[in-house]
Structure 1
Amino acid sequence: MSRLPDLEALAIFAKVAETQSFSGAADQLALSKATVSKAVARLEQQLKTTLLHRTSRRFALTDAGRSLAARAGLMLAEAEGAVSEALDMSVTPRGLVRLAAPMSFGMAYVAPALPQFLATHPDVSIDLHLSDEVIDLVGGGFDCALRIAALEDSSLTARRLRPVNRMLVASPAYLAQRGRPTHPDDLNRHACLCYAYMPTPDVWRFSNAAGEEVAVRPRGPLRANNSDALTASLCAGLGLFPQPDFIAWKDIADGRLETVMTDWRLPPIALHLVAPSSGPRPARVTALMDYLARTFSGPLWPGDTVGR
């Protein structure tokens, strides 16, 4: 049977190569410099090759040393990740979680839901970032995000929480003055408000149960980068807009808005919980993601039938 690799020596050598110093590796690993030196010498003896040249003024890896350092570094990172994951699974969630969410949904539903989570997990803190822009989770250092969209394939892990229904709405006064559209082509004769972050803001695509598909180019007096910002203008009778159900439900229930063209639908979208897929997930992130999934998979407003 072949000997097992000297994993300790490989890990120590990876730190030596990373820090370009025996002393630096010893400090990071909380070992003596002699222990670090002996581990590298033991590895060289086992491999029967020189891994580095060192003088009082110069430190240089040999070709064999550079090749081994790359592999040993990956091994060390994987081992540290495995240990971290195991520790996180066995301890109380603690630390900072950076969460991104759409502005309107975040203000109406996410922010009010967080106090209960924070009361249950007093060692966790949350940095909540609200924006309708698609945030680069990895580049922005976010742990997870809520997104309302038809998600494209990506390197992120995604959990679908609930459908989001977009309803074409207008005020009773607008409909009394301009008439009630019954077909997407009718919108060419109407004022349409626009949301800048729709997948195709300059083209609205509708379909019906019969499989018909119609595209229209909306024109109107107002364009905004937040759907909620259009509500006042909708209620004031400035035009029509396909408002998400989680925003429009209250104005519809109170009679300020009415739905039209109910047999036509825009492409389906949904609320998703997304997170970077690489590396172990800390317990604090898992706890928050599980809480958000439970909270937003059920009814959120009076008359909401999702999850029932």
Structure 2
Amino acid sequence: MSQLEDMQLFVSVLEQGSFTAAAEVLGLSKQFVSRRVAALEARLGVRLLNRSTRKLSATALGQSYFERARRILQDVAETDMLVSEQGASPRGALRLAAPMSFGTLHLSELLPAFMQRYPEVNIELDLSDRTVDLLGEGYDMAIRIGELADSSLIARQLAPLHMVTCASPAYLAMHGEPQTPDDLRAHECMLYGHSKSVEWHYWRDGRSQRIALHGRYRVNNGELVRDAAIAGLGLTMLPTFIVGDALASGQLVTVLEAYQMPAGKVYAVYPQHRQSSLLVQFLIDYLREALTSQG
């Protein structure tokens, strides 16, 4: 086997967690895979794996070799793809992470349509409201909402993000409508996120005002917060892509309309080594066009 093939075997063993699992994925025998990895260690003159009857793990040198080898294999695959496609159409596999609410409300329709357009594309989608480690966890791209932390990742804007403060008509009829952000402290406010204390940010006449709130109901999923607001539990601040339909139907109404709220953005972020990926660029362009047309 070639040096590149031995590298692929080693990467597969660590990704799958065992020689047996890697052999099954690759369609080879366990003995063959084990023998080739041992030959790789002999050629390099180092031990790459810690072997025991219970588990398999990488040595410090093995982990370093694994990370570099995986990047090399990705670059080789992308190079083959770019040449074979000649810029015409994407193909291959992409591992994508996105926030739960955004994924269920938008990607549930957009990704199947993208895959129908490009039948040689495979997508693995992970919906989670946590911030995944793209490099450490092996993601090709993630969708992120709001302010981005400083990092080495490349970010491209997909769509603007509009926030509203809203509640059900029944809640407002019972408790009254807040006239200023300060009035929120006297209301039941439902918080979207993980922190026990959340700040809602408003502007008016060029002045900024942040209101720190401690709510009885805090959820890390926007759709559940929206449903609680519709049920009359209190006020909430959410993006319009989550509450737009409820506002249009009258189940929720906006308040504090004289005050501006943070103008955020929806981004696609990806590692620098994926910048040349035709598949990543096609998907970003597709999502940006689709989300823009949705308003």
Provide the TM-score with structure 2 as the length reference.
Answer: 0.70
Alignment match, 1:133:
130
Q: Which amino acid aligns with 1:162?
A: A
Q: Any idea what the Cα deviations from partners look like across 1:272-292, whole Å, max 9, x if unmatched?
A: 111111255333333222222
Q: Which moved more, 1:272-281 or 1:88-97?
A: 88-97
2:280 paired residue number: 285
Matched-pair contact (CA < 8 Å) for 2:158–2:287: no
Q: Equivalences for 1:152-191 in 2 at 5 Å? A: 152-191=149-188
CA distance in 2, matches of 1:276, 1:83: 16
Q: Is the 8 A contact 1:195 1:201 kept in 2?
A: no
Structure with bigger gyration radius: 1
User: Which one-letter code corresponds to 1:109 in the other structure?
Assistant: H
User: Is structure 2 residue 140 aligned with structure 1 residue 143?
Assistant: yes
Map Cα deviations across residues 111-154 of structure 1 (whole Å, 9 max, x no partner): 11122211111111110111111111111211111111112332
Q: Alignment identity in percent? A: 35
Q: Which residue of 2 aligns with 1:215?
A: 210
Between Structure 1 and Structure 2, how many residues are aligned? Answer: 236
1:1-308 matches, cutoff 5 A: 25=3, 83-84=79-80, 86-87=82-83, 90=86, 92-197=89-194, 202-278=197-273, 281-299=276-294, 306=295
- Residues 85 and 210 of structure 1: CA distance in aligned 2, closer, same or farther (over 3 Å): same
Could you say which residue in structure 2 is the equivalent of 1:12? none
Structure 2 CA distance for partners of 1:24 and 1:298, relative to 1, 3 Å: closer
Counterpart AA for 2:167: A
Cα pair 1:150 1:270 within 8 Å, conserved: yes
CA RMSD of aligned residues (A): 3.1
Answer whether contact 1:163 1:269 (CA < 8 A) is retained.
yes
- Alpha-carbon spacing, 1:25–1:223, altered in 2? closer, same or farther (3 Å): closer
User: Does structure 2 conserve the Cα–Cα contact (< 8 Å) formed by 1:144 and 1:289?
Assistant: no
Quickly say closer, same or farther: Cα 1:183–1:120, change in 2 above 3 A: same
What's the TM-score once normalised by structure 1's chain length? 0.68
Are the aligned partners of 2:223 and 2:242 in contact in 1 as well (CA < 8 Å)? yes
Write out per-residue CA displacement over residues 83-114 of structure 1, whole angstroms, 9 at most, x where no aligned residue. 54752652742221111111111101111112
Q: Distance in 1 between matches of 2:4 and 2:138?
A: 30
CA contact (8 A) 2:140 2:274 kept: no
The DSSP-based 3-state class of the residue aligned with 1:215 is strand
The aligned amino acid for 2:83 is L
Q: Quote the Cα distance in structure 2 between the aligned partners of 1:26 and 1:261.
A: 61
Q: Deviations over 1:229-277 (max 9, x none)?
A: 1122111211100121011111111111110001223332111111111
Q: Which portions of structure 1, spanning 4 or more consecutive aligned residues, are displaced by more than 4 angstroms?
A: 23-29, 57-60, 77-86
